[in-house]
Amino acid sequence: MSSTTVPTTIAKFELKMGVATREAYGQALVELGKSNPNVVVLDADLAKYTFSAKFQKEFPDRFFTVGIAEANMVSIASGMALSGKLPFASSFAVFLCDKGYDQLRMCVAYPGVNAKFVGSHGGISIGEDGPSQQAVEDYALMCALAGFVVLNPSDEFCARALVHRMAEHVGPVYMRTGRPKAPIIYGPNDTFEIGKAKQHGQGRDAAIVACGLEVGYALQAQAQLAEEGINVRVLDMHTIKPVDEAAIAKAAEECGAIVTAEEHLLDGGLGSQVARAVAKSRPVPMEFVGVQNTYAESATPDQLMEKYGLTAPFIVKAVKAVVKRKK
C-alpha cells in the first residue's frame, strides 16, 4: 500500500479548530446505525463523554451500558460479534485498554473476533483529569495484540471516515479518540484507507510521520521550516498498525531523514513502528517526538503539550537535528 498526497498550502497553514474526534465518532456511529441494523454499541457508563450517547438516543434498543466494568464490556462485545452482530464498544482509553486487556487478548485477539473498540480521552491532552486518566500506553498495548488494527485519526473528517472503515474491516480494531477539539485538516470529500498514510507536501529534506493531534503540530512545523528554507513532507499515519511501510520506505529513500511525532510514550508507540519499517527498507537518521518515559501532571491541555515537548517548536527542533545528522 502507498500513501496518498494531500495538497497543502504550506506557508499559510493555520490551525482552525473543528470538533473533537470523540464527537465525530458519535456522529459516525449514528450513520452506521442507520445503514446497518447489525451495529450495536456498548459503553462503560461514559456514553456522554465518549459521544456514543448519540447512538443511544437514536437506537436505544441497540445500545448497552455495562456500568464501570470494561472487562465485562469487552467479553460481551465478543459474544455479540460471535452471534452475528457488529459491536462498537467504547470507554476512556486508559480504562478500556488497561482494565480490559486480558479479555481483549483472550476473547477478541486470540479468536480473531470481529469486534471494534474505541478509547476516548487518549493521550495527555485530556488535561486537568491527571495521569490516572491519561492513556499514554494504549498504542503499545493494542499493537501487541495479534491481529488487531490500531488507528488514531487526526481530525473529525478522518475520524468519521475511519469509523466506517472499521465497520468494513473484518477483524478486531482499536481506535483512539481525543477529548479536545481537533484542528481541521481535511474535508468531507477526503478518503481514508486502513494502512494507507496521507501525505502533505513533497519536501525532500526530511519527513515528519505523525498521528492524532500531532499531525496538526507537524503541519505547523512544516510551515515554519519552509520559511527557513527546510522543505519537509508530513505523513499522517492514522493507521499505527498495520503501518504504511511503502510510504515510510519512500520517505526514507527520498528524504534521507525521518522524525516521528506522537502523543504517547516513545516506548512501543508510533516511533517504534516506523523505526522497524525504516530498518527493513532503508535505514536513515531518525528523531522521535513523544512523551519521554514519564507520566504527566494535571494542567490545561496546552500547558501539558508544551511542557512534555509535543508542540510544533519541538518538532521543528527535531527536524533540524535530524537534517544536521543527515548531512
- 179 HSE (CA, 13 A, CB side): 22
Residue type, 213: L
Burial class of residue 102, CB neighbours in 10 A (0-12, 13-18, 19+)? exposed
∠ CA 124-12-237, nearest 5°, is: 45
CA dihedral 236, 292, 15, 157 (to 10 degrees): 40
Catalytic: 70?
yes
β-bridge mates for residue 43, sequence order: 65, 90
Of the residues 70, 156, 245, 262, only one is catalytic, namely 70
Q: Quote the CA–CA distance of 289 and 224 in Å, as a whole number.
A: 17
Strands in 63-65's sheet, in edge-to-edge order, are: 63-65, 39-43, 86-92, 116-120, 173-176, 149-151, 239-241
Residue type, 158: C
Residues noted as catalytic:
70
